[in-house]
Amino acid sequence: MSDEIDDRLSRRFDDDQDDENETTSEESQNDMNFGQSGAERKSQTSQKAQNIKKEWNVRSFYLDDDLDSDLTTAFKRLDLSLSEADAEVNLKKTRHFYPLIVELGLERLEGMEVTEVTERLEGEDSA
């Protein structure tokens, strides 16, 4: 009974409803993964999840109003740019945008020195 309710709620509130219909055969996935880096394979594996709310981990975090507004604006700009470029990606916040933001942030963080991180954090605390 609980699974049925979860499925109904997921269908009703999931902004990624189209994602539930995505399927990829094992053969085509193996062909696509040949010769790709680990990050590219991980990204494609994540993209093939059929129901991300069931298959992915949940993270909650809080943003101040300015950062939240910047995030919303960045999503809208990227979505508009992709649609104007006739890209074949139907950008979804949960499936595409948020993981991209986190992945890019982690890559940038890896390249930063500890002093750069502390300066950035101290600057944010004083703002």
Q: How many residues does the chain have?
A: 127
Residue type, 79: D
Q: What is the pLDDT of residues 77-113, one digit of tens each?
A: 999 999 999 888 899 999 999 999 999 999 999 999 9
Angle of CA points 88, 82, 26, to nearest 5° = 30
Sign of CA dihedral 52, 45, 80, 77: positive
Q: What is the pLDDT of residues 111-123, one digit of tens each?
A: 999 999 999 999 8
CB within 8 Å of 92: residues ≥ 6 apart: 15, 16, 18, 19
Q: What pTM, to 2 d.p., does this model score?
A: 0.59
